[in-house]
Structure 1
Amino acid sequence: MAVAHVVTVVGVTTAALLLRGDASAASAAALAVVVSTLASVTRTLVVRASDAGSDALTGLANRRGFDEALGEHVRRADVPLSAALLDLDHFKLINDTDGHEAGDRLLRRVAGSWRQALPGSALLARHGGDEFALLLPGLDGSEALALVRRLCSLVPDVGVSAGVAQRCPQDTAAQLMRRADLALYRVKADGRGAAALHADDPPEAAASR
Protein backbone atom coordinates (compact mmCIF):
# COMPACT_ATOMS: atom_id res chain seq x y z
CA MET A 1 0.00 0.00 0.00
CA ALA A 2 1.38 3.44 -0.99
CA VAL A 3 0.56 5.10 2.35
CA ALA A 4 2.33 2.36 4.28
CA HIS A 5 5.38 2.85 2.07
CA VAL A 6 5.37 6.59 2.83
CA VAL A 7 5.18 5.87 6.56
CA THR A 8 8.21 3.60 6.31
CA VAL A 9 10.24 6.06 4.25
CA VAL A 10 9.50 9.03 6.52
CA GLY A 11 10.30 7.00 9.63
CA VAL A 12 13.63 5.80 8.25
CA THR A 13 14.50 9.31 7.07
CA THR A 14 13.78 10.79 10.50
CA ALA A 15 16.01 8.26 12.22
CA ALA A 16 18.82 8.86 9.75
CA LEU A 17 18.69 12.63 10.17
CA LEU A 18 18.79 12.37 13.94
CA LEU A 19 21.79 10.05 13.81
CA ARG A 20 23.65 12.47 11.53
CA GLY A 21 22.67 15.48 13.61
CA ASP A 22 21.11 17.17 10.58
CA ALA A 23 17.65 17.57 12.02
CA SER A 24 16.61 19.77 14.89
CA ALA A 25 14.44 18.42 17.65
CA ALA A 26 11.55 20.45 16.27
CA SER A 27 11.94 18.99 12.80
CA ALA A 28 12.16 15.51 14.22
CA ALA A 29 9.00 16.11 16.24
CA ALA A 30 7.20 17.39 13.16
CA LEU A 31 8.25 14.36 11.19
CA ALA A 32 7.11 12.12 14.04
CA VAL A 33 3.66 13.71 13.84
CA VAL A 34 3.57 13.02 10.11
CA VAL A 35 4.55 9.41 10.70
CA SER A 36 1.89 8.98 13.38
CA THR A 37 -0.78 10.56 11.19
CA LEU A 38 0.06 8.44 8.17
CA ALA A 39 0.13 5.31 10.32
CA SER A 40 -3.36 6.13 11.60
CA VAL A 41 -4.61 6.65 8.05
CA THR A 42 -3.08 3.33 7.03
CA ARG A 43 -4.84 1.48 9.84
CA THR A 44 -8.15 3.11 8.89
CA LEU A 45 -7.76 2.13 5.25
CA VAL A 46 -6.92 -1.46 6.18
CA VAL A 47 -9.99 -1.72 8.42
CA ARG A 48 -12.22 -0.24 5.74
CA ALA A 49 -10.84 -2.63 3.13
CA SER A 50 -11.50 -5.63 5.37
CA ASP A 51 -15.05 -4.41 6.10
CA ALA A 52 -15.89 -3.63 2.48
CA GLY A 53 -17.13 -7.16 1.84
CA SER A 54 -19.10 -7.54 5.09
CA ASP A 55 -22.62 -6.64 6.16
CA ALA A 56 -22.53 -4.60 9.36
CA LEU A 57 -25.92 -5.78 10.64
CA THR A 58 -25.58 -9.55 10.30
CA GLY A 59 -21.84 -10.08 10.09
CA LEU A 60 -22.34 -12.03 6.87
CA ALA A 61 -20.73 -11.23 3.56
CA ASN A 62 -22.47 -8.42 1.71
CA ARG A 63 -23.34 -8.32 -1.97
CA ARG A 64 -19.87 -7.15 -2.94
CA GLY A 65 -18.20 -9.95 -0.99
CA PHE A 66 -20.60 -12.51 -2.44
CA ASP A 67 -20.09 -11.34 -6.02
CA GLU A 68 -16.31 -11.51 -5.65
CA ALA A 69 -16.46 -15.08 -4.31
CA LEU A 70 -19.00 -16.08 -6.96
CA GLY A 71 -16.75 -14.81 -9.73
CA GLU A 72 -13.84 -16.85 -8.42
CA HIS A 73 -15.86 -20.06 -8.12
CA VAL A 74 -17.56 -19.76 -11.50
CA ARG A 75 -14.17 -19.83 -13.16
CA ARG A 76 -13.51 -23.25 -11.64
CA ALA A 77 -15.03 -25.92 -13.86
CA ASP A 78 -13.67 -28.90 -11.91
CA VAL A 79 -16.30 -28.96 -9.15
CA PRO A 80 -20.10 -28.60 -9.09
CA LEU A 81 -21.45 -25.23 -8.05
CA SER A 82 -24.91 -24.13 -7.02
CA ALA A 83 -26.33 -20.85 -5.81
CA ALA A 84 -29.54 -19.80 -4.11
CA LEU A 85 -31.49 -16.67 -3.33
CA LEU A 86 -33.65 -16.66 -0.19
CA ASP A 87 -36.22 -13.98 0.66
CA LEU A 88 -38.00 -13.50 3.96
CA ASP A 89 -41.69 -13.35 3.10
CA HIS A 90 -43.62 -10.19 4.01
CA PHE A 91 -40.60 -8.67 5.72
CA LYS A 92 -41.79 -5.15 4.94
CA LEU A 93 -44.91 -5.83 7.00
CA ILE A 94 -42.73 -6.68 10.00
CA ASN A 95 -40.85 -3.41 9.63
CA ASP A 96 -44.07 -1.45 9.22
CA THR A 97 -45.93 -3.02 12.16
CA ASP A 98 -43.19 -3.83 14.67
CA GLY A 99 -40.53 -1.32 13.67
CA HIS A 100 -37.14 -1.54 12.02
CA GLU A 101 -35.44 -2.73 15.20
CA ALA A 102 -37.66 -5.82 15.19
CA GLY A 103 -36.80 -6.35 11.54
CA ASP A 104 -33.10 -6.05 12.30
CA ARG A 105 -33.38 -8.59 15.13
CA LEU A 106 -35.11 -11.01 12.79
CA LEU A 107 -32.41 -10.63 10.15
CA ARG A 108 -29.69 -11.30 12.73
CA ARG A 109 -31.53 -14.33 14.11
CA VAL A 110 -32.08 -15.88 10.70
CA ALA A 111 -28.50 -15.16 9.64
CA GLY A 112 -27.15 -16.76 12.82
CA SER A 113 -29.30 -19.88 12.49
CA TRP A 114 -28.37 -20.43 8.87
CA ARG A 115 -24.68 -19.69 9.27
CA GLN A 116 -24.29 -22.34 11.98
CA ALA A 117 -25.96 -25.00 9.81
CA LEU A 118 -23.85 -24.50 6.69
CA PRO A 119 -20.76 -26.45 5.65
CA GLY A 120 -17.48 -24.61 5.82
CA SER A 121 -17.24 -24.33 2.05
CA ALA A 122 -20.54 -22.44 1.76
CA LEU A 123 -20.84 -18.67 1.66
CA LEU A 124 -23.95 -16.98 3.02
CA ALA A 125 -24.43 -13.30 2.27
CA ARG A 126 -26.98 -10.63 2.91
CA HIS A 127 -27.68 -9.63 -0.66
CA GLY A 128 -29.71 -6.60 0.30
CA GLY A 129 -32.76 -5.83 2.42
CA ASP A 130 -34.38 -9.13 3.37
CA GLU A 131 -32.71 -11.14 0.60
CA PHE A 132 -29.92 -13.61 1.31
CA ALA A 133 -27.64 -15.23 -1.24
CA LEU A 134 -26.01 -18.60 -0.80
CA LEU A 135 -23.02 -20.00 -2.68
CA LEU A 136 -22.56 -23.77 -2.47
CA PRO A 137 -19.35 -25.09 -4.04
CA GLY A 138 -19.28 -28.86 -4.41
CA LEU A 139 -23.07 -29.30 -4.41
CA ASP A 140 -25.22 -30.05 -7.43
CA GLY A 141 -28.73 -28.68 -7.78
CA SER A 142 -30.50 -31.48 -5.91
CA GLU A 143 -28.08 -31.33 -3.00
CA ALA A 144 -28.32 -27.56 -2.86
CA LEU A 145 -32.11 -27.68 -2.89
CA ALA A 146 -32.13 -30.16 0.00
CA LEU A 147 -29.79 -27.93 1.99
CA VAL A 148 -31.87 -24.83 1.33
CA ARG A 149 -35.01 -26.62 2.50
CA ARG A 150 -33.20 -27.62 5.66
CA LEU A 151 -32.23 -24.00 6.28
CA CYS A 152 -35.84 -22.93 5.85
CA SER A 153 -36.94 -25.52 8.42
CA LEU A 154 -34.62 -23.95 11.00
CA VAL A 155 -36.81 -20.84 11.16
CA PRO A 156 -40.33 -22.32 11.10
CA ASP A 157 -41.87 -19.07 12.35
CA VAL A 158 -40.48 -17.16 9.37
CA GLY A 159 -41.83 -17.49 5.86
CA VAL A 160 -39.01 -18.06 3.37
CA SER A 161 -39.10 -18.24 -0.42
CA ALA A 162 -36.03 -19.59 -2.18
CA GLY A 163 -34.76 -20.18 -5.68
CA VAL A 164 -31.87 -22.52 -6.45
CA ALA A 165 -29.77 -22.99 -9.57
CA GLN A 166 -26.88 -25.22 -10.55
CA ARG A 167 -24.05 -23.93 -12.71
CA CYS A 168 -24.25 -25.11 -16.29
CA PRO A 169 -21.23 -25.40 -18.59
CA GLN A 170 -20.07 -22.01 -19.85
CA ASP A 171 -22.22 -20.19 -17.28
CA THR A 172 -21.20 -16.72 -16.23
CA ALA A 173 -21.82 -15.57 -12.67
CA ALA A 174 -24.69 -13.39 -13.89
CA GLN A 175 -26.35 -16.28 -15.74
CA LEU A 176 -26.19 -18.55 -12.71
CA MET A 177 -27.74 -15.94 -10.43
CA ARG A 178 -30.33 -15.08 -13.06
CA ARG A 179 -31.61 -18.66 -13.01
CA ALA A 180 -31.73 -18.66 -9.22
CA ASP A 181 -33.68 -15.42 -9.38
CA LEU A 182 -36.12 -16.88 -11.91
CA ALA A 183 -36.70 -19.89 -9.65
CA LEU A 184 -37.34 -17.54 -6.73
CA TYR A 185 -39.76 -15.50 -8.84
CA ARG A 186 -41.72 -18.63 -9.71
CA VAL A 187 -41.95 -19.63 -6.04
CA LYS A 188 -43.35 -16.22 -5.18
CA ALA A 189 -45.82 -16.39 -8.06
CA ASP A 190 -47.01 -19.78 -6.78
CA GLY A 191 -47.75 -18.45 -3.30
CA ARG A 192 -44.38 -18.14 -1.51
CA GLY A 193 -43.10 -20.22 1.39
CA ALA A 194 -41.29 -22.82 -0.73
CA ALA A 195 -37.95 -23.64 -2.32
CA ALA A 196 -37.51 -24.58 -5.96
CA LEU A 197 -34.75 -25.60 -8.33
CA HIS A 198 -34.68 -23.79 -11.65
CA ALA A 199 -36.74 -25.72 -14.19
CA ASP A 200 -33.80 -26.26 -16.55
CA ASP A 201 -31.62 -27.75 -13.80
CA PRO A 202 -31.70 -31.50 -13.05
CA PRO A 203 -33.56 -33.28 -11.65
CA GLU A 204 -36.27 -31.66 -9.48
CA ALA A 205 -38.06 -28.58 -10.73
CA ALA A 206 -40.01 -27.47 -7.71
CA ALA A 207 -41.47 -28.65 -4.46
CA SER A 208 -42.51 -27.22 -1.16
CA ARG A 209 -40.16 -27.45 1.75
Structure 2
Amino acid sequence: MNQGTPEGDSDLSQRHRRELLRLLLWFTVLFSVGFIAINFSVGKYGLMAIEIAVAVFAVWLLTILPRTPNLRRWALVYMVTLLSGTMFAFASPATSITVFSWILVMPVLTHLLLGRWLGGVLSLFYLVLSASIFCWRFGTTQLMDTPGSIANIVTVTACAYLFSHVYEASRERAEQQLSVMALTDSLTGLANRTQLEQSFSRAVLQRQLPLSLVMIDLDYFKRINDEHGHATGDAVLRIIAQAMREHIRESDLACRLGGEEFCLLLPSTNPQRARRLADRLREDIETLECRHEDAVLKLTASIGVATASNPTDGLDPMLHVADQNLYRAKFAGRNCVVG
Protein backbone atom coordinates (compact mmCIF):
# COMPACT_ATOMS: atom_id res chain seq x y z
CA MET A 1 0.00 0.00 0.00
CA ASN A 2 3.02 2.23 0.43
CA GLN A 3 2.22 4.92 -2.01
CA GLY A 4 0.23 2.20 -3.59
CA THR A 5 -0.81 1.92 -7.13
CA PRO A 6 -3.99 3.81 -7.79
CA GLU A 7 -7.05 1.72 -7.39
CA GLY A 8 -9.18 4.11 -9.46
CA ASP A 9 -7.50 2.95 -12.71
CA SER A 10 -9.70 -0.20 -13.16
CA ASP A 11 -12.81 1.74 -12.11
CA LEU A 12 -12.27 4.26 -14.88
CA SER A 13 -11.74 1.49 -17.42
CA GLN A 14 -14.83 -0.34 -16.26
CA ARG A 15 -17.05 2.74 -16.60
CA HIS A 16 -15.64 3.40 -20.05
CA ARG A 17 -16.09 -0.18 -21.24
CA ARG A 18 -19.47 -0.72 -19.58
CA GLU A 19 -20.97 2.17 -21.53
CA LEU A 20 -19.33 1.01 -24.74
CA LEU A 21 -20.54 -2.56 -24.29
CA ARG A 22 -24.08 -1.31 -23.63
CA LEU A 23 -24.04 0.63 -26.90
CA LEU A 24 -22.65 -2.35 -28.84
CA LEU A 25 -25.25 -4.69 -27.36
CA TRP A 26 -28.07 -2.41 -28.50
CA PHE A 27 -26.55 -2.27 -31.96
CA THR A 28 -26.25 -6.06 -31.91
CA VAL A 29 -29.93 -6.47 -31.05
CA LEU A 30 -31.12 -3.98 -33.67
CA PHE A 31 -28.95 -5.32 -36.49
CA SER A 32 -29.69 -8.92 -35.54
CA VAL A 33 -33.41 -8.28 -35.94
CA GLY A 34 -32.76 -6.90 -39.42
CA PHE A 35 -30.53 -9.80 -40.44
CA ILE A 36 -33.01 -12.33 -39.01
CA ALA A 37 -35.70 -10.92 -41.29
CA ILE A 38 -33.36 -10.88 -44.30
CA ASN A 39 -32.11 -14.44 -43.76
CA PHE A 40 -35.64 -15.71 -43.21
CA SER A 41 -36.86 -14.12 -46.43
CA VAL A 42 -34.10 -15.78 -48.50
CA GLY A 43 -34.29 -19.11 -46.71
CA LYS A 44 -30.91 -18.97 -44.94
CA TYR A 45 -32.20 -20.63 -41.79
CA GLY A 46 -28.79 -21.58 -40.39
CA LEU A 47 -27.64 -17.97 -40.40
CA MET A 48 -31.02 -16.93 -39.04
CA ALA A 49 -30.61 -19.31 -36.09
CA ILE A 50 -27.17 -17.81 -35.37
CA GLU A 51 -28.61 -14.29 -35.45
CA ILE A 52 -31.44 -15.28 -33.09
CA ALA A 53 -28.97 -16.81 -30.62
CA VAL A 54 -26.76 -13.71 -30.74
CA ALA A 55 -29.75 -11.39 -30.26
CA VAL A 56 -31.09 -13.38 -27.28
CA PHE A 57 -27.66 -13.42 -25.69
CA ALA A 58 -27.28 -9.65 -26.22
CA VAL A 59 -30.68 -8.95 -24.63
CA TRP A 60 -29.82 -11.12 -21.62
CA LEU A 61 -26.43 -9.46 -21.26
CA LEU A 62 -28.10 -6.04 -21.31
CA THR A 63 -30.12 -7.05 -18.24
CA ILE A 64 -27.07 -8.01 -16.16
CA LEU A 65 -24.67 -5.38 -17.50
CA PRO A 66 -25.45 -2.60 -14.95
CA ARG A 67 -24.67 -4.78 -11.93
CA THR A 68 -22.13 -7.40 -12.99
CA PRO A 69 -18.68 -7.15 -11.37
CA ASN A 70 -17.27 -9.42 -14.10
CA LEU A 71 -17.45 -6.92 -16.93
CA ARG A 72 -14.22 -8.00 -18.62
CA ARG A 73 -15.27 -11.64 -18.61
CA TRP A 74 -18.65 -10.89 -20.19
CA ALA A 75 -17.08 -8.54 -22.72
CA LEU A 76 -14.77 -11.40 -23.73
CA VAL A 77 -17.71 -13.83 -23.99
CA TYR A 78 -19.62 -11.27 -26.06
CA MET A 79 -16.74 -10.72 -28.47
CA VAL A 80 -16.03 -14.45 -28.86
CA THR A 81 -19.74 -15.07 -29.53
CA LEU A 82 -20.00 -12.21 -32.01
CA LEU A 83 -16.78 -13.02 -33.85
CA SER A 84 -17.45 -16.75 -33.92
CA GLY A 85 -20.86 -16.05 -35.45
CA THR A 86 -19.15 -13.82 -37.99
CA MET A 87 -16.72 -16.62 -38.84
CA PHE A 88 -19.69 -18.92 -39.44
CA ALA A 89 -21.11 -16.36 -41.84
CA PHE A 90 -17.73 -16.09 -43.59
CA ALA A 91 -17.56 -19.85 -44.02
CA SER A 92 -21.13 -20.25 -45.26
CA PRO A 93 -21.30 -20.75 -49.06
CA ALA A 94 -24.61 -18.88 -49.03
CA THR A 95 -22.99 -15.56 -48.14
CA SER A 96 -21.34 -13.24 -50.64
CA ILE A 97 -17.80 -11.94 -50.56
CA THR A 98 -19.04 -8.61 -49.20
CA VAL A 99 -19.57 -10.19 -45.76
CA PHE A 100 -15.79 -10.03 -45.30
CA SER A 101 -16.08 -6.24 -44.88
CA TRP A 102 -16.90 -7.03 -41.24
CA ILE A 103 -13.24 -7.82 -40.60
CA LEU A 104 -12.56 -4.06 -40.59
CA VAL A 105 -14.44 -3.55 -37.31
CA MET A 106 -12.86 -6.50 -35.47
CA PRO A 107 -9.68 -4.74 -34.27
CA VAL A 108 -11.60 -1.64 -33.20
CA LEU A 109 -14.21 -3.49 -31.14
CA THR A 110 -11.82 -5.92 -29.48
CA HIS A 111 -9.32 -3.21 -28.50
CA LEU A 112 -11.99 -0.88 -27.12
CA LEU A 113 -13.73 -3.59 -25.09
CA LEU A 114 -10.82 -5.74 -23.95
CA GLY A 115 -7.76 -3.50 -23.94
CA ARG A 116 -4.69 -3.51 -26.11
CA TRP A 117 -3.24 -6.89 -25.09
CA LEU A 118 -6.24 -9.20 -24.80
CA GLY A 119 -8.07 -7.30 -27.53
CA GLY A 120 -4.99 -7.34 -29.75
CA VAL A 121 -4.45 -11.09 -29.39
CA LEU A 122 -8.15 -11.92 -29.90
CA SER A 123 -8.55 -9.73 -32.98
CA LEU A 124 -5.31 -11.04 -34.49
CA PHE A 125 -6.55 -14.61 -34.04
CA TYR A 126 -9.84 -13.88 -35.79
CA LEU A 127 -8.16 -11.85 -38.54
CA VAL A 128 -5.89 -14.80 -39.34
CA LEU A 129 -8.92 -17.10 -39.21
CA SER A 130 -10.80 -14.77 -41.57
CA ALA A 131 -7.94 -14.82 -44.06
CA SER A 132 -7.83 -18.62 -43.86
CA ILE A 133 -11.59 -18.89 -44.50
CA PHE A 134 -11.30 -16.48 -47.43
CA CYS A 135 -8.56 -18.57 -49.05
CA TRP A 136 -10.52 -21.76 -48.35
CA ARG A 137 -13.67 -20.38 -49.97
CA PHE A 138 -12.23 -18.58 -52.94
CA GLY A 139 -8.77 -20.08 -53.34
CA THR A 140 -5.72 -18.31 -54.67
CA THR A 141 -7.41 -17.53 -57.98
CA GLN A 142 -9.42 -14.72 -56.38
CA LEU A 143 -6.23 -13.30 -54.92
CA MET A 144 -4.46 -13.34 -58.27
CA ASP A 145 -7.39 -11.93 -60.23
CA THR A 146 -7.94 -8.92 -57.95
CA PRO A 147 -4.58 -8.18 -56.29
CA GLY A 148 -5.34 -4.47 -55.94
CA SER A 149 -8.59 -5.05 -54.10
CA ILE A 150 -7.01 -7.63 -51.80
CA ALA A 151 -4.09 -5.28 -51.10
CA ASN A 152 -6.54 -2.51 -50.19
CA ILE A 153 -8.40 -4.76 -47.77
CA VAL A 154 -5.18 -5.96 -46.13
CA THR A 155 -3.82 -2.41 -45.85
CA VAL A 156 -7.01 -0.97 -44.37
CA THR A 157 -7.33 -3.88 -41.93
CA ALA A 158 -3.70 -3.53 -40.83
CA CYS A 159 -4.19 0.21 -40.33
CA ALA A 160 -7.35 -0.41 -38.28
CA TYR A 161 -5.46 -2.89 -36.12
CA LEU A 162 -2.43 -0.65 -35.57
CA PHE A 163 -4.45 2.51 -34.97
CA SER A 164 -6.71 0.68 -32.49
CA HIS A 165 -3.69 -0.68 -30.64
CA VAL A 166 -1.94 2.70 -30.49
CA TYR A 167 -5.13 4.50 -29.47
CA GLU A 168 -5.85 2.04 -26.67
CA ALA A 169 -2.26 2.27 -25.41
CA SER A 170 -2.42 6.08 -25.28
CA ARG A 171 -5.87 5.99 -23.64
CA GLU A 172 -4.61 3.61 -20.94
CA ARG A 173 -1.60 5.85 -20.26
CA ALA A 174 -3.78 8.95 -20.04
CA GLU A 175 -6.22 7.15 -17.74
CA GLN A 176 -3.40 6.00 -15.49
CA GLN A 177 -2.01 9.54 -15.29
CA LEU A 178 -5.44 10.90 -14.37
CA SER A 179 -5.84 8.24 -11.71
CA VAL A 180 -2.45 9.06 -10.21
CA MET A 181 -3.31 12.77 -10.20
CA ALA A 182 -6.64 12.08 -8.53
CA LEU A 183 -5.08 10.00 -5.74
CA THR A 184 -1.73 11.72 -5.18
CA ASP A 185 -0.56 14.93 -3.54
CA SER A 186 1.15 16.84 -6.33
CA LEU A 187 3.81 18.46 -4.10
CA THR A 188 5.13 15.46 -2.18
CA GLY A 189 4.01 12.51 -4.28
CA LEU A 190 2.35 10.98 -1.21
CA ALA A 191 -1.22 9.71 -1.17
CA ASN A 192 -3.99 12.27 -0.71
CA ARG A 193 -7.16 12.05 1.39
CA THR A 194 -9.06 10.19 -1.33
CA GLN A 195 -6.48 7.42 -1.54
CA LEU A 196 -6.33 7.27 2.27
CA GLU A 197 -10.09 6.64 2.41
CA GLN A 198 -9.87 3.91 -0.24
CA SER A 199 -6.92 2.21 1.46
CA PHE A 200 -8.64 2.39 4.85
CA SER A 201 -11.81 0.78 3.47
CA ARG A 202 -9.76 -1.94 1.81
CA ALA A 203 -7.82 -2.68 4.99
CA VAL A 204 -11.05 -3.00 6.99
CA LEU A 205 -12.62 -5.20 4.32
CA GLN A 206 -9.57 -7.48 4.33
CA ARG A 207 -9.61 -7.63 8.14
CA GLN A 208 -6.08 -6.21 8.48
CA LEU A 209 -6.63 -5.53 12.16
CA PRO A 210 -5.75 -3.94 14.48
CA LEU A 211 -5.50 -0.83 12.31
CA SER A 212 -3.42 2.18 13.38
CA LEU A 213 -3.29 5.79 12.27
CA VAL A 214 -0.35 8.11 12.91
CA MET A 215 -0.86 11.85 12.45
CA ILE A 216 2.22 14.05 12.10
CA ASP A 217 2.30 17.83 12.29
CA LEU A 218 5.53 19.81 11.82
CA ASP A 219 6.23 22.18 14.69
CA TYR A 220 6.42 25.91 13.90
CA PHE A 221 6.31 25.24 10.19
CA LYS A 222 4.69 28.61 9.51
CA ARG A 223 7.94 30.29 10.55
CA ILE A 224 9.76 28.55 7.70
CA ASN A 225 7.36 29.94 5.13
CA ASP A 226 7.44 33.39 6.72
CA GLU A 227 11.23 33.62 7.11
CA HIS A 228 12.50 31.64 4.12
CA GLY A 229 9.64 31.65 1.62
CA HIS A 230 7.20 29.07 0.35
CA ALA A 231 9.73 27.48 -2.02
CA THR A 232 11.84 26.52 1.01
CA GLY A 233 8.73 25.34 2.84
CA ASP A 234 7.79 23.14 -0.12
CA ALA A 235 11.31 21.68 -0.20
CA VAL A 236 11.03 20.82 3.50
CA LEU A 237 7.71 19.07 2.95
CA ARG A 238 9.24 16.92 0.21
CA ILE A 239 12.14 15.97 2.49
CA ILE A 240 9.74 14.99 5.27
CA ALA A 241 7.69 12.96 2.77
CA GLN A 242 10.80 11.02 1.80
CA ALA A 243 11.63 10.38 5.45
CA MET A 244 8.14 8.96 5.96
CA ARG A 245 8.53 6.60 2.99
CA GLU A 246 11.71 5.22 4.50
CA HIS A 247 9.98 4.29 7.77
CA ILE A 248 6.98 2.35 6.47
CA ARG A 249 6.33 -1.11 5.05
CA GLU A 250 4.99 -1.96 1.63
CA SER A 251 1.58 -2.55 3.18
CA ASP A 252 1.47 0.89 4.85
CA LEU A 253 0.36 4.17 3.32
CA ALA A 254 1.95 7.60 3.72
CA CYS A 255 -0.45 10.48 3.14
CA ARG A 256 -0.40 14.28 3.15
CA LEU A 257 -3.64 15.64 4.53
CA GLY A 258 -2.82 19.28 3.82
CA GLY A 259 -0.37 21.99 4.78
CA GLU A 260 2.24 20.56 7.12
CA GLU A 261 -0.02 17.74 8.35
CA PHE A 262 0.71 14.14 7.37
CA CYS A 263 -0.75 10.75 8.19
CA LEU A 264 0.38 7.12 8.15
CA LEU A 265 -2.09 4.27 7.74
CA LEU A 266 -0.69 1.10 9.32
CA PRO A 267 -2.73 -2.09 8.72
CA SER A 268 -2.20 -5.06 11.06
CA THR A 269 -0.37 -2.83 13.55
CA ASN A 270 -1.02 -2.78 17.30
CA PRO A 271 -0.66 0.39 19.45
CA GLN A 272 2.82 -0.49 20.75
CA ARG A 273 4.25 -1.04 17.29
CA ALA A 274 2.57 2.11 15.96
CA ARG A 275 4.05 4.23 18.76
CA ARG A 276 7.51 2.75 18.21
CA LEU A 277 7.35 3.59 14.52
CA ALA A 278 6.05 7.08 15.32
CA ASP A 279 8.86 7.69 17.77
CA ARG A 280 11.53 6.53 15.30
CA LEU A 281 10.06 8.88 12.72
CA ARG A 282 10.00 11.74 15.23
CA GLU A 283 13.67 11.16 16.05
CA ASP A 284 14.56 11.01 12.38
CA ILE A 285 12.79 14.31 11.69
CA GLU A 286 14.56 15.91 14.65
CA THR A 287 17.99 14.93 13.28
CA LEU A 288 17.28 15.92 9.69
CA GLU A 289 19.03 18.89 8.16
CA CYS A 290 16.68 20.28 5.55
CA ARG A 291 18.76 22.11 2.98
CA HIS A 292 17.34 24.41 0.33
CA GLU A 293 19.41 26.99 -1.49
CA ASP A 294 21.30 28.80 1.32
CA ALA A 295 19.00 27.65 4.12
CA VAL A 296 19.83 24.76 6.48
CA LEU A 297 16.81 24.10 8.65
CA LYS A 298 16.16 21.94 11.71
CA LEU A 299 12.65 21.09 12.76
CA THR A 300 10.60 18.78 14.95
CA ALA A 301 7.21 17.11 14.76
CA SER A 302 4.33 16.40 17.11
CA ILE A 303 2.62 13.07 16.57
CA GLY A 304 -0.70 11.53 17.57
CA VAL A 305 -1.52 7.82 17.32
CA ALA A 306 -4.88 6.04 17.21
CA THR A 307 -5.57 2.30 16.96
CA ALA A 308 -8.80 0.38 16.49
CA SER A 309 -9.40 -3.36 16.64
CA ASN A 310 -12.72 -3.09 14.81
CA PRO A 311 -13.04 0.30 13.07
CA THR A 312 -16.60 -0.19 11.86
CA ASP A 313 -17.40 3.52 12.26
CA GLY A 314 -15.08 4.47 9.41
CA LEU A 315 -12.04 6.64 8.97
CA ASP A 316 -13.25 9.91 10.48
CA PRO A 317 -13.53 8.72 14.11
CA MET A 318 -9.97 7.36 13.99
CA LEU A 319 -8.69 10.59 12.45
CA HIS A 320 -10.45 12.48 15.21
CA VAL A 321 -8.80 10.42 17.96
CA ALA A 322 -5.37 10.73 16.30
CA ASP A 323 -5.91 14.48 15.89
CA GLN A 324 -6.82 14.85 19.58
CA ASN A 325 -3.65 12.98 20.56
CA LEU A 326 -1.67 15.18 18.19
CA TYR A 327 -2.86 18.30 19.97
CA ARG A 328 -2.07 16.73 23.32
CA ALA A 329 1.46 16.30 22.01
CA LYS A 330 1.48 19.99 21.06
CA PHE A 331 0.33 21.03 24.54
CA ALA A 332 2.88 18.69 26.13
CA GLY A 333 5.69 20.73 24.64
CA ARG A 334 5.86 19.45 21.04
CA ASN A 335 8.39 17.02 19.58
CA CYS A 336 6.73 14.01 21.20
CA VAL A 337 4.32 11.15 20.53
CA VAL A 338 0.93 10.73 22.25
CA GLY A 339 -1.36 7.79 21.73
TM range (shorter): 0.7 to 0.9
Higher mean displacement: 46-55 or 35-44: 35-44
Aligned with residue 199 of structure 2, among 66, 69, 76? 69
Structure with bigger helix share is: 2
TM-score normalised by length of structure 1: 0.74
Partner of 2:322: 180
Can you list the C-alpha shifts for 1:71-116, whole angstroms capped at 9, x where unaligned? 1113344632111110112222212221122112111111212211
Question: Is the contact made by 1:74 and 1:171 (CA closer than 8 Å) also made in structure 2?
Answer: no
Q: Tell me the secondary structure at the aligned position of residue 56 of structure 1.
A: coil
Partner of 1:159: 300
Can you list the C-alpha shifts for 1:127-172, whole angstroms capped at 9, x where unaligned? 2221111111222112211210110100213221111011143442
Question: Is the contact made by 1:114 and 1:154 (CA closer than 8 Å) also made in structure 2?
Answer: no
Can you list the C-alpha shifts for 1:148-206, whole angstroms capped at 9, x where unaligned? 01101002132211110111434422222221111112223444322100xxxxxxxxx
Question: Is the contact made by 2:279 and 2:337 (CA closer than 8 Å) also made in structure 1?
Answer: yes
Question: Is the contact made by 2:214 and 2:264 (CA closer than 8 Å) also made in structure 1?
Answer: yes
Question: Is the contact made by 1:187 and 1:195 (CA closer than 8 Å) also made in structure 2?
Answer: yes
Partner of 1:140: 270
Structure 1 residue 29: deviation in Å? 9.9
Can you list the C-alpha shifts for 1:20-39, whole angstroms capped at 9, x where unaligned? 95978997799676775564
What CA distance in whole angstroms lies between the structure 2 residues aligned with 1:179 and 1:125?
17
Question: Is the contact made by 1:148 and 1:162 (CA closer than 8 Å) also made in structure 2?
Answer: yes
Q: Tell me the secondary structure at the aligned position of residue 183 of structure 2.
A: coil
Aligned in 2, Cα 1:148/1:4: closer, same or farther, shift over 3 Å?
same
Aligned in 2, Cα 1:42/1:142: closer, same or farther, shift over 3 Å?
closer
What CA distance in whole angstroms lies between the structure 2 residues aligned with 1:176 and 1:153?
24
Matched, 1:110 2:110: no
Unaligned residue ranges in structure 1 (runs of 5+): 198-209
Q: Which amino acid aligns with 2:328?
A: R
Question: Is the contact made by 1:187 and 1:196 (CA closer than 8 Å) also made in structure 2?
Answer: yes
Aligned with residue 215 of structure 2, among 69, 72, 85? 85
Can you list the C-alpha shifts for 1:37-78, whole angstroms capped at 9, x where unaligned? 564333211222244322233232222222211111133446
State the number of aligned residues.
197
Cα root mean square deviation, aligned: 3.3
What CA distance in whole angstroms lies between the structure 2 residues aligned with 1:112 and 1:35?
37
Identity of aligned residues (%): 32
What CA distance in whole angstroms lies between the structure 1 residues aligned with 2:304 and 2:177?
34
Higher relative contact order (CA 8 A, sep 6+): 1
TM-score normalised by length of structure 2: 0.49
Structure with bigger strand share is: 1
Partner of 1:200: none
Query: Greater Rg, structure 1 or structure 2?
Result: 2
Question: Is the contact made by 1:74 and 1:173 (CA closer than 8 Å) also made in structure 2?
Answer: no
